[in-house]
C-alpha cells in the first residue's frame, strides 16, 4: 500500500482500507465484478414510468462517454486522463486518489424498459440516464363499470 | 483573532452535516500547489472554497435533477454533500488562490509566497 506523508491522507487511507475490506468480504459479488467502489459510482432509482440511473463520473468529455443498452443490459464506458504531471517535470505528487484510465460498468436492468425511450445527459460530472418503461408495463387504472 | 473565529465557525458548520470525502490529487511544483477534487453533481453556486489562515475547506452540495416519485433501488453515493479540510503550510499564500470547476472536477491553484520559491544555491569549493 502506498503511504504519503501528507497529513490529511490518513482519512483517504482509511477510506481505501474500508473499501478493500468491503470488497474482500462482500457476500455475493455480481458476476461482472464487484458491485461497489468502482468508477463511476452508480445510483439507480425507479419511478412507475421510468428507471433513472446516475453515474458519478466527473472530468469526462461528454462526447467520449459510451452508453449502450442491449437486451436490458446497460453499459457505461469511457476514459479519464490522469491529472498528474509527466515524469520529466519538476513536480511532486503528494496525493493521488483520483481514478484515471478506462472504466466500464455494466448493469442489468429489468426487462420492461423501452430501448427507444432513453435519454442521457451529462451535467456537472454526473451522467443521468433515464429509460422509460414500456407502455404495456405501466400500471393502469382499470375503470369498473 | 478575527481570522481564528472565522475558522472555528467554519469548522462548526462543517461538522454539523455528514458529508462524503472527495478523492483528490495534490501536485506541487516550484511555484505552488495544484489540487484536483472530484465533486460530481456540485454546481458552481453550491461550492465553497475557504482558505482561512492555515486551513483550506472545500464544501460542496449536489444539485441533481430528480424526478418525483423516485424510489432508490441501488445506492453507492449516499450523501448529497462533499467536504474535505486540509491544513495549509506557511509558505502557501491563501490570497493567491484560483479555483475552476469543470465537469464536476475542482481545480485549485495555490501560489507560494514570493520569498519562499526555491533558488538554486551554487556550491563552490
Return the pLDDT at B8. Answer: 43
Residue B4 has a pLDDT of: 43
SS3 of residue A46 by DSSP = strand
Spans of all domains in chain B: 24-66+79-113
Give the CATH number, domain containing residue A44: 2.60.40.790
Which of B20, B22, B27 best probes binding to A when mutated, by most A CB atoms within 10 angstroms? B27
In a domain, A143, yes or no: no
Per the structure, how many domains does chain A have?
2
Q: Which residues of B touch A61 (CB under 8 A)?
A: 103
Residues A17, A51 within the same domain: no
**A90: in domain:** no
pTM for this model (two decimals): 0.76
- Please check whether residue A33 touches B, CB under 8 A: no
In the sheet that holds B24-29, the strands lie side by side as A91-96, B24-29, B32-38, B105-112, B92-102
Let me know whether A72 and A25 are in one domain.
no
The answer to the question of residue A116 being in a domain is yes
pLDDT tens, residue by residue, A119-128: 999 999 999 9
| Interface check A8 vs B, CB under 8 A | yes
Residue A19 lies in a domain: yes
Percent of chain A residues topping a pLDDT of 90: 38
CA dihedral A117, A122, A123, A128 (to 10 degrees): 50
- Decide if A91 is inside a domain: no
Are the C-beta atoms of residues B117 and B93 closer than 8 Å to each other? Answer: no
Q: Determine, yes or no, domain membership for A51.
A: yes
Most A CBs within 10 Å, among B86, B103, B118, to test the A interface: B103
A139 lies in some domain: no
Mean pLDDT, range A58-79, rounded to an integer: 92
For B69-114, the pLDDT digits (tens) are: 888 888 888 899 999 999 988 888 888 899 999 999 999 999 988 7
**Mean of the per-residue pLDDT values for chain A?**
81
Q: Name the average pLDDT for chain B.
A: 84
- Which residue of B24, B25, B41 is in closest CB contact with A125? B41
Question: Cβ–Cβ contacts within 10 Å for residue A22, how many?
Answer: 13
Condensed to tens digits (0 to 9), the pLDDT of residues A37-55 reads 578 899 999 998 899 999 9
Helix, strand or coil for residue B119? coil
CATH 2.60.40.790 assigned to B24-66+79-113:
yes
| Residues A19 and A69 both lie in one domain | no
Interface contact A117, partner B, CB < 8 A: no
A58 shares a domain with A120: yes
Q: Is residue A72 part of a domain?
A: yes
Question: pLDDT at position B1, please?
Answer: 40
Q: Does A75 share its domain with A48?
A: yes
CA nearest to B66 within chain A: A52
| A77 and A9 part of one domain | no
pLDDT surpasses 60 at A88: yes
Distances (CA, A) of A29 to A26, A34, B11: 6, 5, 39
d(CA B106, CA B112): 19
Residue A64: give the domain boundaries.
38-85+96-134
pLDDT of B27 strictly over 70: yes
Average pLDDT, integer, range A105-116? 88
Q: Check residues A42 and B54 and name the one with the higher pLDDT.
A: A42
> Residue B47 pLDDT more than 90?
yes
Amino acid at each position: 500500500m502506498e503511504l504519503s506523508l501528507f497529513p490529511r491522507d490518513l482519512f483517504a487511507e482509511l477510506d481505501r482500507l474500508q473499501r478493500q475490506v468491503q470488497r474482500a468480504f462482500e457476500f455475493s459479488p455480481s458476476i461482472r465484478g464487484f458491485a461497489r467502489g468502482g468508477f463511476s459510482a452508480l445510483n439507480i432509482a425507479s419511478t412507475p414510468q421510468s428507471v433513472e440511473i446516475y453515474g458519478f463520473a466527473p472530468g469526462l468529455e461528454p462526447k467520449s462517454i459510451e452508453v449502450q443498452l442491449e437486451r436490458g443490459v446497460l453499459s457505461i464506458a469511457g476514459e479519464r486522463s490522469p491529472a498528474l504531471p509527466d515524469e520529466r517535470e519538476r513536480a511532486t505528487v503528494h496525493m493521488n486518489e483520483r481514478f484515471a484510465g478506462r472504466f466500464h460498468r455494466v448493469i442489468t436492468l429489468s426487462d420492461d424498459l423501452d430501448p427507444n425511450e432513453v435519454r442521457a445527459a451529462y451535467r456537472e460530472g454526473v451522467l443521468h440516464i433515464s429509460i422509460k418503461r414500456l407502455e404495456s408495463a405501466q400500471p393502469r387504472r382499470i375503470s369498473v363499470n | 483573532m478575527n481570522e481564528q473565529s472565522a475558522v472555528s465557525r467554519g469548522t462548526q458548520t462543517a461538522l454539523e452535516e455528514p458529508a462524503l470525502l472527495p478523492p483528490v490529487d495534490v501536485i506541487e511544483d516550484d511555484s505552488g500547489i495544484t489540487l484536483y477534487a472530484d465533486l460530481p453533481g456540485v454546481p458552481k453556486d453550491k461550492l465553497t472554497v475557504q482558505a482561512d489562515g492555515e486551513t483550506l475547506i472545500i464544501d460542496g452540495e449536489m444539485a441533481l435533477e430528480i424526478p418525483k416519485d423516485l424510489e432508490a433501488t441501488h445506492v453507492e453515493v449516499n450523501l448529497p454533500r462533499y467536504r474535505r479540510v486540509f491544513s495549509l503550510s506557511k509558505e502557501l499564500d491563501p490570497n493567491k488562490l484560483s479555483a475552476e470547476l469543470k465537469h464536476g472536477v475542482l481545480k485549485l491553484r495555490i501560489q507560494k509566497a514570493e520569498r519562499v520559491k526555491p533558488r538554486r544555491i551554487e556550491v563552490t569549493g
